Amino acid sequence: MEIAPEHPEDGPAIEHLLDLAFGPDRAGKTVYKLREGIPPVAELGFVIHDPAKPEIDGSLRFWPIVIGEERVPALLLGPIAVAPEDRGKGYAKALIWHGLGVARALGHRIVLLVGDAPYYEQFGFARALATNLTLPGWVDEARFLGLELVPGALSGVRGMVGRAA
Ligand SMILES: CC(C)(COP(=O)(O)OP(=O)(O)OC[C@H]1O[C@@H](n2cnc3c(N)ncnc32)[C@H](O)[C@@H]1OP(=O)(O)O)[C@@H](O)C(=O)NCCC(=O)NCCS
């Protein structure tokens, strides 16, 4: 298995994976409001695949976001999806560790996501780091998590999460 940067020609295969994982109604979710009209961070799109086969087995993207009136820059992790037949093999874990490592190396400081805390805590995401932040729509608050790529990056950061544009 190999993690590779996402290329433009991967787009249709990634859309198919996301349809399988989240259904075609996924664009109605609160996190999609933060992505509307804004491309994902180009350097932080990754796919995981068997180099011997044409299919993509998993995809991870990050979106740029800002927090509060001071518009503190941050990343929104996701969507992440792994093909149903390839789940439980550690592909998502590998993609996330890889993506967070590249994000840190590029100088990003804060990552937020909406997802299952028992899964994302292994990477350092914590509910406690996002309690001063709000999202522009309903989410189950227990699933709204933060991660500091630089220790203390979320200290004193508060307010509404918004689109980066
Ligand atoms: C969530 C998803 C990306 C995980 O992909 P994956 O490659 O199977 O994940 P990994 O192999 O890295 O991790 C699997 C392990 O995490 C555990 N795990 C998976 N989802 C979990 C969750 N929500 N809560 C707790 N543990 C979870 C599994 O039980 C498994 O544990 P094991 O290694 O002890 O068997 C994949 O199931 C998927 O595409 N789901 C549909 C889309 C989705 O829900 N995306 C995330 C939205 S936040």
What is the distance between the terminal CA atoms of the chain, rounded to a whole angstrom? 35
Q: What is the distance between the alpha carbons of residues 76 and 14, in angstroms, rounded to a whole number?
A: 18
**91 Cβ below 6 A of ligand 1:** yes
The CATH number given to whatever domain includes residue 117 is: 3.40.630.30
Contacts of 55 (CB under 8 A, 6+ apart): 13, 49, 83
CA of 68 to the centre of ligand 1 (A): 31
Spatial distance between the Cα atoms of 17 and 108, rounded to a whole number of angstroms:
27
Per-residue pLDDT of the chain (165 residues; tens, 9 = 90+): 999 999 999 999 999 999 999 988 888 888 999 999 999 999 999 999 998 888 899 999 999 999 999 999 999 999 999 999 999 999 999 999 999 999 999 999 999 999 999 999 999 999 999 999 999 999 999 999 999 999 999 999 999 999 998
CB distance 128 to 154 below 8 Å: no
Q: Could you tell me where the beta strands, DSSP code E, fall in 8-154?
A: 46-49, 58-67, 72-82, 110-114, 133-134, 144-148
Q: How many domains does the chain have?
A: 1
Strand pairing of 46-49 and 72-82? unpaired
- Best residue among 116, 135, 147 to mutate for probing ligand 1's pocket (most ligand atoms within 8 Å of CB) is 116
Q: Whose CA is nearest to atom 11 of ligand 1?
A: 90
4: enclosing H helix or E strand:
strand 2-5
Is the peptide bond prior to 54 cis by the omega test (within 30 degrees of 0)?
no
> Domain limits at 142?
2-163
* 95 DSSP 8-state letter: H
pLDDT of res. 109: 98
* DSSP symbol at 39: P
> In angstroms, how far is CA 150 from the centroid of its own chain?
17
Q: Which atom of ligand 1 is nearest to the CA of 96?
A: 12
Burial class (CB within 10 angstroms; exposed 0-12, middle 13-18, buried 19+) of 85: exposed
Q: Across-strand partners of 89?
A: none
Q: What's the pLDDT score for residue 27?
A: 84
